Structure 1
């Protein structure tokens, strides 16, 4: 299957052949591909950084097999045995760096994954690069006892330094080898592409968790610290079921809900994390909030997910999590949405949205406020009705006094 940026698909827990490819030729920067095995969002040592010069992970789960050239196409091949990946490894990131130029000058960037029978299980053409000198093309990650692949397509303008800051890799420099050269190399003009934002901290389940907390109208707030959630990742999940009604305009596959967050940091900076405008955020740099993708069908079991880095609780003043209807309905009536906050440490918190009886296209879900160094979660479940000509984002901004300037955007 060919994937779009931010989408994901299940992959079998078996030996996968992962091919990362690009075009090469005069004026096109040399490119190095690598795999990063991440535990709690970072590599544990240089051994978790598999490259052409360091081709095998000690576990045997990831191995760089070859770099081959067919005409002007160069392909790096990894063998990834998902059944052998250590339990502490949550993600395998497929990264690339460009030497002597940017990825806007590297045409034909793609990832193709096949199973043991040679069947394609995922294919992603990265068509959005420009000024980046390091890219995350995709990632294999654990999900509900299995594995998935996500098309990422996000990058950094500072090359290896960006990867080092995000994932903890050292500044070791690989030995540059000449690209495999065919008898004749045709000229190819570099293509121009465009960028995007950052990544997420994976969820990691503790073996013993406190009982779930359910927020209601009578008991709408909870302290994360009192539930043991003082560090690690807080994952906010939105899921929904659609039933026919006067405000729906198609099937569940036509429905596109967007999970978003308005943030205000302790230093006064304000902004929004959302798929619109590719404002996906970052976990290890301000705003310490990341949207892991854009579920455009409403048919995914994952729903939409935001992750908040609780290691930076002191940097938050307040965070408002809200959801908008981008397409497929003109109100939340009949959508049966459920919100769950799953901290890496501590009790999960959940609540359902009440039945909506108004033509609302934006709903404030939860407000997180810093109260003396403790993040307190308050259930909002507040349906808002935008005035004519007013966007859902501007509507929720006005309702909560964020005071931001907005311009039209698309995704």
Structure 2
């Protein structure tokens, strides 16, 4: 909505206070935030980006989808962004590049993975989108990432996930805890407890793989090996 700069201040202002555009960083001490309080509505953009720490003499830098295959640093880390979903009608599943399950914004699950960077040409990292116009049909979402190529070491990826609502402040989650050799990280869980609002909760929990992730969060899916 455009801003009307002709309005004068004075008297009691019936307009709501503007939404702060300052970045919100979720931490252990402040692990959750409501999307509706951030502005809500529209489309939620989830971005995963990273700057892999490469060995001396190698070409490190921001990572995109399968960048290593196209000649990126051979000792770098390539991450994939994905999402587990559970709808209010009981349907469950996963949106990820493995198995070409890229989802949909206009039909269930109302979550879609951006496939534009499958060639590895993009340096903008990984992106997926959530259609918040259908928030009442979403029970919970679990945003996660896994190492598809490169050494299994999240500690050197310098990864950060940013959830940007159509209106309101970006919400940042940094994968800044020791991961050991885990190849997968549960980043944030979005839970609908009121019917029309998703609460974002920081997770940053490292697990070995899809089945461990499923057991940890009780999704109850049957997993089979997948390929891109």
TM bucket (normalised to shorter chain) is 0.7 to 0.9
Q: Does structure 2 retain, via aligned residues, the 8 Å contact 1:281–1:290?
A: yes
Which residue of the partner structure matches residue 339 of structure 1? 161
CA distance in 1, matches of 2:171, 2:121: 23
Q: Larger relative CO (CA 8 A, sep 6+): 1 or 2?
A: 2
Q: Does structure 2 retain, via aligned residues, the 8 Å contact 1:257–1:296?
A: no
Q: Does structure 2 retain, via aligned residues, the 8 Å contact 1:334–1:355?
A: no
Q: 1:403 aligns with which of 207, 213, 220?
A: 220
1:351 Cα deviation from its structure 2 partner? 2.1
TM-score in terms of structure 1 length: 0.45
TM-score in terms of structure 2 length: 0.79
Q: How does 1:4-403 map to 2 (within 5 A)?
A: 210-229=21-40, 231-244=41-54, 253-254=67-68, 255-293=77-115, 295=117, 300-373=122-195, 374-384=197-207, 386=208, 392-403=209-220
SS of aligned partner of 1:395: helix
1:300 Cα deviation from its structure 2 partner? 3.5
CA distance in 2, matches of 1:276, 1:244: 26
1:296 Cα deviation from its structure 2 partner? 5.6
Give every structure 1 segment of 4 or more consecutive aligned residues whose post-TM-superposition deviation is greater than 6 Å: none
Q: Which runs of 5+ in 1 are unaligned?
A: 1-206, 387-391
CA distance in 1, matches of 2:118, 2:166: 27
Q: Which has the higher strand share?
A: 1
CA distance in 2, matches of 1:357, 1:281: 28
Q: Which runs of 5+ in 2 are unaligned?
A: 1-17, 62-66, 69-76
Q: Does structure 2 retain, via aligned residues, the 8 Å contact 1:240–1:298?
A: no
SS of aligned partner of 2:124: coil
Q: Does structure 2 retain, via aligned residues, the 8 Å contact 1:256–1:297?
A: no
Deviations 1:250-298 (A, max 9, x none): 9664243110000000000000000011100000100000001264687
Measured on the aligned residues, the alpha-carbon RMSD in Å equals 2.2
Q: Does structure 1 retain, via aligned residues, the 8 Å contact 2:49–2:125?
A: yes
Q: Does structure 1 retain, via aligned residues, the 8 Å contact 2:26–2:32?
A: yes
Q: 1:208 to 1:216 in 2, by over 3 A?
A: closer
CA distance in 2, matches of 1:299, 1:329: 21
From the CA coordinates, give the structure whose radius of gyration is larger. Answer: 1
